[in-house]
Amino acid sequence: MIRIQNLSRNFGNLKAVDNISFDIKDTEILGFLGPNGAGKTTTLRMLVGYLQPSGGSIELDGKSIFADPLAASSQIGYLPEQNPLYDDMSVSEALAYFGALRSMSKAVFKARKEFVVANCGLAEVLNQRIGTLSKGYRQRVGLAQAILHDPRILILDEPTSGLDPNQIMEIRDLIRTLGKEKMLILSSHIMQEVQALCDRVVIINKGKIIVDDQKENLGNYLENSEVLHLEVEGEGIEFGAFAEQYAGLELQSEAVDERHCILKLKQPKGMDLRQDVSRYINEKGWLILEMRVEKQSLEQIFHRLTGEDNSVHFTAPQTDENIEEQQ
């Protein structure tokens, strides 16, 4: 297991990682979440020994990874954020190169190559130059490189970025399979991904850990209210009187044009207003064009906890929801 204690890293005056501590158990899939610039990549770079910490320690099975970096790095498979690869080499050559640098024997390399080629879907591009590959294939090559030596610990920095929904599905399946027998640390700013894959979630913001909990417990961090979205058509739409009947109900309305109105009713958790609302609208003779209760997800927890920042880039939610439905 990996034990991180009081880990810090400064860049000049900027505290990129500020005194964080957490453990990662064997065969655990840890989701490492945070907005861009939160310190995810810096932490992962320290974990793989690429960056020296300014303070604190990282211990692998009780030994500092900086005591014997070569031994530590031979147990780690790493997919860096930008997924750097040698564009001039073919996929096959690159795998052979990494295999050789990892001192793999011919027989072992052959078996592992077969495994990664089959599992990362690289068979048809094996002799193609990496520079000519699409982003999805590049990502798979990066992942193949990371798992080539069958590492005990797998550190993936945003592994599914730039992939199409089908590829994301495949890579997630692969990650899930790998996670059964490996310690896996997955950094992401895509909430659904973490929700779909991880056992435990660490959310980091501005270099500090703000949540470290099992995925199931994350519900506790939810806001104590839900939002009912309404789109109504009709003459003289007015919900003020309706809202006053309920304690704790907040109303936000926005008229699209004379006959259309979009409303947001923020209701305390547990209150279900749908029936009352539809009856009320019925009485007034209006029409409901849309009514839905916004489900609270990890995404909102994330939003709420990491607060005001607008640096968060979310992938198109529809796409990811579709993926979840397919699953």
Partner 1 sequence: MRAIWIIAKKEYQLAMRSISTYIVLTLFLVVSGLFFSNIIFKVGLAEMRSLFEIMHVVFVFYIPAITMGSIARERQSGTLELLSTLPIKLSSIIWGKVLSCLMQLKTLVAFTLVFLGIIAIFGEGIDYGAVVCGYLGLILAGTAYISIGVFASSLPSNQILAFVLALLISAFFYVLKFLIVLIPMNLMQPLMYLSFDNHLASFLKGVVDTRDILFFLAVTAVFALLAEFNLQSRNMMQER
Could you list the residues that contact partner 1 (CB under 8 A)?
Answer: 11-12, 16, 42, 45, 48-52, 70-71, 73-74, 76, 78, 80, 82, 84-89, 93, 97-98, 100-103, 145
> Please, what is the end-to-end C-alpha distance for the chain in angstroms?
31
Q: Minimum CB separation from partner 1 for residue 305, in Å?
A: 23
Whether the Cβ atoms of residue 288 and residue 278 lie closer than 8 Å to each other: yes
- Give how far the C-alpha of residue 249 lies from the chain's centroid of Cα atoms, to the nearest Å: 33
Q: Minimum CB separation from partner 1 for residue 181, in Å?
A: 21
Whether the Cβ atoms of residue 203 and residue 211 lie closer than 8 Å to each other: yes
Q: Minimum CB separation from partner 1 for residue 138, in Å?
A: 12
Q: 3-class SS at 180?
A: coil
Nearest CB to partner 1, comparing residues 31 and 80: 80
- Tell the burial category of 188 from Cβ atoms under 10 Å away from its Cβ (0-12, 13-18, 19+): buried
State the sign of the Cα–Cα–Cα–Cα dihedral 101, 105, 108, 113: positive
Nearest CB to partner 1, comparing residues 78 and 221: 78
Q: Minimum CB separation from partner 1 for residue 307, in Å?
A: 22
- The 8-class DSSP code of residue 237 comes to -
Biggest CA-to-CA distance, the chain:
78
Nearest CB to partner 1, comparing residues 41 and 160: 41
Nearest CB to partner 1, comparing residues 57 and 74: 74
Q: Minimum CB separation from partner 1 for residue 82, in Å?
A: 5
Nearest CB to partner 1, comparing residues 42 and 119: 42
